[in-house]
Amino acid sequence: MTFPFDPTQGLVIVEAKIAGPTNNVVVHLALDTGATNTFLDEALLAFAGYTPADATSQFEVLTASGTIRVLEVPVTSFMALGQTRTSFPIQAHSFPPGTGHDGVLGLLGLDFLRGHVLTIDFIKGEITLDPGTPAGPGVTP
């Protein structure tokens, strides 16, 4: 399944949908292969109905400007690029204005992409995320 994006923008923006206890919210995230995990603005998680009591873990995250501490919240359902994950762990973080995240509410990170084939066509402005085959090093197809 192929999804369009604007290859002329500064970031690769993809649509995602988070299902929460009170609201299901469609948002735009920056595709970030430099992020190990998927991050959402904590205000968005709160809006969807999650509270700090829903967090199952707390982690330190290394950023370009230092180390921060985030709560990990497993969300009921998370959809992006035609894939749906249930009980998907989301890192809750505040993205203040002026930090380069002004137009996005989070980052789609590597944890969502692993085990799949990601194709980004900057000529056509198309992204495809296909289920992969287990053919990595040490794995017999």
Q: Which of residues 73-132 bind another protein (CB under 8 A)?
A: 94, 97, 100-105, 107
Rounded least distance, CB 24 to another protein, Å = 5
In the complex, what is the shortest distance from the CB of residue 87 to another protein, in angstroms, rounded to a whole number? 20
- E-only strand ranges, the chain: 2-4, 13-19, 24-31, 39-41, 57-63, 66-80, 83-93, 106-108, 116-121, 126-131
CB atoms within 10 A of CB 35: 19
79 vs 85: CA distance, rounded Å: 6
Shortest gap between Cβ of 137 and another protein (angstroms)?
Answer: 28
What b-and-e string marks burial along 45-83, b requiring 16 or more CB atoms within 10 Å of the CB? bebbbbeeebbeeeeeeeeeeeeeebbebbbbebbbbee
Q: Does position 32 bind another protein by CB under 8 A?
A: yes
Stretch that binds another protein, among 29-37, 53-61, 69-77, 126-134 (CB under 8 A): 29-37
Tell me whether residue 22 or residue 133 sits nearer to another protein (CB atom). 22
Whichever of 82 and 132 has its CB closer to another protein, that residue is 82
Q: Count the site residues for another protein by CB under 8 A.
A: 32
Instruction: State the residues that interact with another protein by CB under 8 A.
Output: 4, 9-11, 13, 15, 22-28, 30, 32, 34-35, 41, 43-44, 46-47, 64, 94, 97, 100-105, 107
